Amino acid sequence: MTERTPLLHYRLSTSVNESEPRGPPAGRAPEQLPGGSRRRSAQQRQPKKLSIFFGVVVPTLLSMFSVVLFLRIGFVVGHAGLYQAIAMFLVAYFIICMTVLSVCAISTNGALDAGGAYYMISRALGPEFGGSIGIMFFLANVCGSALYVLGLVEAIVTTFGVPEDGIVTSSYQVLPSGYWWSLLYATGIALLCLLVCMVGAHIYAKATFLIFMVVMFVLGTILISFFAVRPRTIVLPRPSSFNPTPNGTGPTFPTTANFTGFKLDTLLGNLGAGYTEDYTTQTMMNFATVFAVMFNGCTGIMAGSNMSGDLKNPSYSIPRGTITAVIFTFIIYNLLSVLVACTCDRVLLQRDYGFLRDINIWYPFVIIGVYSSTLSAAMSNLIGASRILYALARDDLFGKVLSPAKKTSHSGNPWVSVLISWFLVQLVLFAGKLNTIASIVTIFFLLVYAAVDLACLALEWASAPNFRPTFRYFTWHTCVLGIIGCAVMMFLINAIYASASIAFMLLLLLLIHYLSPTSSWGYISQALIFHQVRKYLLMLDVRKDHVKFWRPQVLLMVSNPRSSVGLITFINDIKKSGLYVLGHVQLGDLNTLPSDPLQSQYDSWLSLVDHLNIKAFVNLTLADSVRHGVQHLLFISGLGGMRPNTLVLGFYDDCVPKDRLTGSSLSTSPSNDPSGLSPEVEQPPLFHFTSLRGSSDRQDHGEFEDGKVLGPQEYVAIISDAMKMLKNVVLARYFNNFDRSLALSPPPSSPGKGAVYVDVWPVNLLRPDSCSYVDTCSLFLLQLACILNMVRSWRKATLRLFLCVEEGRSVRGSEEKLGQLLKELRIKAQIYPVPWDQQVALHWQRQGDFGKKQHLQDASDAAAEGKKQKPDEEEENEDDYVNSFPSNATRLSDDYLSAVNRMILDQARPAPAVRFLYLPRPPADTRRYSAYLRQLELLTQDLGPTLLIHGVTPVITTDL
């Protein structure tokens, strides 16, 4: 079959599939149609369009009129009394009315296909809600089918069974009774239901209306009997087990009871509650247990919505038909309760569940009604359970677990699903008594109804523009009331069963959420998240930002993710629950292109985020130059108070890139095509990223459009632009081969015996005449290093803080001062003073005698005049001086930079996992950009994974 097989739940489901074939379209013979016989067979299963009465009212009434109507209405009134019985019906119908409003709202939200409640809810709300509700609805139908089978067995044994005491009162009591005999009868009835569902389900479906007429006729005779039958004495059935006390003073059970006709005394005797033991299970009854049995007569309200694909006008029929059926059953149940309370002794109601047949104008009428309605309901629930299971299997929400349930016969009957459903029904039959499983069935249905109300509430709260049902007689208040009502009654009935059912449903929801494949149905969770995120983003006021709550919000510029996996994963660690955006610039002009080339790339980037298991957003832009593209992203990335405050760039060098996505299950090996473009057929299914360039090209790892030459001038200009926009800047070098797992697990044979270190150099090494470590940039370095150390996987790493000192300065004083600062900042680190007189000497040799003499003269003048600055003033001046590129930095010699580089390497014993270095501002003179970049390159030569960091805003405080 090429069309979608409908999920059919109740009576008319099969009949509509087995309707008469229709003729071909006008002007075409059947053999001319595409698909040949398959098309003709599909046409034969085309459903007839049903009216409100046949499509909604009849299935709903037959689902609600069954065991409770004929076998338990006296049980309810006898134990609870008329007042509490009416209160139970009011509570039950309040709950289902709230749910009916939600079902009507969902069913009228657009055009409906066949598929029933599961299909409707899953397509409207997504696989999480649909799958979990579908499983719970499946279990509810399985248990409901078993409940109706047990009700039928109870009616058969009551009529034709030999009492356990062996005293036969009529000639047709020939069937042996007892637990195992009842189980045998129930098994036989279940096999009959299985046979009909496997072979002749259409026979049952065609008899639906006949069954409905029989039930209505029997109901009419029952109502007439209360007025037409004279008072009589009725022999009561004996309890299933009775063990009197040895002295004979134990409880005695009456053997007869009276049908009094309409009497005031009878009514007054039945008004109040009179809970006693259930004579079939010997368990003490109470409000909750009686309600659990009674509520089974209120289920089946979704029968009409399950016929959605077979109705002439579903949006019109479902609300009106369902509400009509609910009102009619409510009136009948309450009318019967009043009639029973006015005419029957309480003992009769408590001790004989089949008393209606004894007071009927003709004894067999009620027997026929009970047998037809319960057998019909049992088959209906079995068919419905199998169709729900088949639909779940078709949707692949649970993978291979349910794959056998997809198999169907040539006629489209899901026979494997029917067998599985029957097997589960047979397991439930071992409970033995209707009242035993009534609580479980009721809790399952209550949970399903609560889930439907919750789903409708979620749609309403999500404020999705496409949720505009034509049925408007509901609000979020009705949904909440329905949820509360279902939850309260679930826990009143049985708190343990209710808790276990809710936990099971939540587990199903989480499993489907994390394990099921992506569907095209739409996810209500995404709509809710969007609604809440938008609301909280509007509440996030940037004017209320405080340094105490600062966190890094990173924009990482990525050229080709194939060579940037190490950097992407490392920055994910350092973001500290902040905003993380992967940015990418593609060069081009939209005026010359037929469409936006970036739209087709988003899926690959999002698949990369999922594959690397990082928490990041993706932002792509098209620009005429890399510099302009980065400016675009810095200007537009983020929303409201969630905007990037830190720009991370890969370093500009000649390192050979390495494809870190090769070998991945989602990636293929890169092509050796020198153009950097691999053929479309060789592209991986999810990662459509271009192959890496050869080593001869200048590589800019992780920041810009691959295959485009980015000059050093433009690269440094990007750094300068970011600082002008008050963005912190991080340059990452040697992260092309970075592997966090290897970095955090050094070999035990290493000098540090497997210890992990993070080195921090908070001094501007391009300013040999300054040793300040308390300026904004230095504190930013300390903050990022501390944040990295707070990440779970980096907590075992040790921070090493290197303090550069010159001869003539107090080493101990500087170390104590820095230690006190770290203590106030709550940063745990080891301080290592590093003398660098030799390196500073190399710098001053380059400056010439004038610069050196001027430096000494200034120092002697300051000492002679006693104009020693206060520490705070000195730090403030140095801060201003450091953040402006010093003129002498342009005359730094290669010897000095190489010496500082060797000093850093010499201090790294054992080698750290990553280094944090101070990044000075680029020079104001753009002609010196190349020299600036060369100095950074010499400074960080062969240092391993290194971050050059420049901070422009305060990010740390000692205040509480």
Q: What angle separates helix 179-198 from helix 415-428, to the nearest 10 degrees?
A: 170
Tokens 């009997």: give the residue: 225
Sequence letter at residue 279: Y
Q: Which CATH architecture has domain 52-515?
A: Up-down Bundle (1.20)
Question: pTM score > 0.85 for this model?
Answer: no
**What number is the average pLDDT over the span 842-859?**
54
- What would the pLDDT profile of 236-246 be if each residue is shown by its tens digit? 876 655 454 44
* Topology given in CATH for the domain delimited by 546-657+704-731: Rossmann fold (3.40.50)
**What number is the average pLDDT over the span 693-707?**
43
Give the three-class secondary structure for 437. helix
Q: What angle separates helix 73-107 from helix 476-493, to the nearest 10 degrees?
A: 150
CB 9 within 8 A of CB 302: yes
- What would the pLDDT profile of 605-619 be if each residue is shown by its tens digit? 998 998 888 999 999
Asked which of 138-147, 197-206, 391-400, 873-882 is least confident by mean pLDDT, the reply is 873-882
CA distance 494 to 488: 10
**What number is the average pLDDT over the span 117-146?**
81
Q: Which residues pair with 556 in a beta bridge?
A: 582, 648
- What would the pLDDT profile of 480-492 be if each residue is shown by its tens digit? 999 998 898 889 8
Tokens 């797992």: give the residue: 741
CB atoms within 10 A of CB 155: 25
Q: Phi-psi bin for 753: left (phi > 0), alpha (psi -120 to 50), beta?
A: left
- 566 vs 114, higher pLDDT: 566
91 pLDDT above the threshold of 80: yes
Confidence (pLDDT) at 516: 66
Asked, colleague to colleague, whether 52-515 and 546-657+704-731 share their fold, the answer is no
247 pLDDT above the threshold of 70: no
Q: Phi-psi bin for 676: left (phi > 0), alpha (psi -120 to 50), beta?
A: left
Asked which of 112-116, 224-228, 716-720 is least confident by mean pLDDT, the reply is 112-116
Would you call 543 exposed, middle or buried from its count of C-beta atoms within 10 A (0-12, 13-18, 19+)?
exposed
Q: Which residues are CB-neighbours of 546 under 8 A, at least 6 positions away?
A: none
Dig out the tokens for 473 from the structure: 């007689």
42 pLDDT above the threshold of 60: no
As a whole number, the mean pLDDT across the chain is: 78
pLDDT band, residue 877 (cuts 50/70/90): very low
pLDDT band, residue 621 (cuts 50/70/90): very high
CB 702 within 8 A of CB 557: yes
7 pLDDT above the threshold of 90: no
- 457 vs 516, higher pLDDT: 457
341 pLDDT above the threshold of 90: yes
CA distance 441 to 515: 28
**What number is the average pLDDT over the span 687-715?**
59
Q: Which residues are CB-neighbours of 213 under 8 A, at least 6 positions away?
A: none
693 pLDDT above the threshold of 80: no
* Residues 521-525: contacts with CB under 8 Å, at least 24 apart: 521/122, 521/123, 521/126, 521/127, 521/130, 522/123, 522/124, 522/125, 522/126, 523/125, 523/126, 523/127, 523/128, 524/124, 524/125, 524/126, 524/128, 524/129, 524/455, 524/458, 524/459, 524/462, 525/126, 525/128
Q: Phi-psi bin for 735: left (phi > 0), alpha (psi -120 to 50), beta?
A: alpha
CB 760 within 8 A of CB 904: no
Q: Which CATH architecture has domain 739-847+890-959?
A: 3-Layer(aba) Sandwich (3.40)
- What would the pLDDT profile of 579-603 be if each residue is shown by its tens digit? 999 999 999 888 888 988 888 888 8
Domain boundaries defined on the chain: 52-515, 546-657+704-731, 739-847+890-959
- Kind of pairing, strands 652-653 and 232-235? unpaired
- Kind of pairing, strands 652-653 and 699-700? antiparallel
pLDDT band, residue 49 (cuts 50/70/90): low
309 pLDDT above the threshold of 70: no
Confidence (pLDDT) at 306: 62
555 pLDDT above the threshold of 80: yes
Confidence (pLDDT) at 716: 94
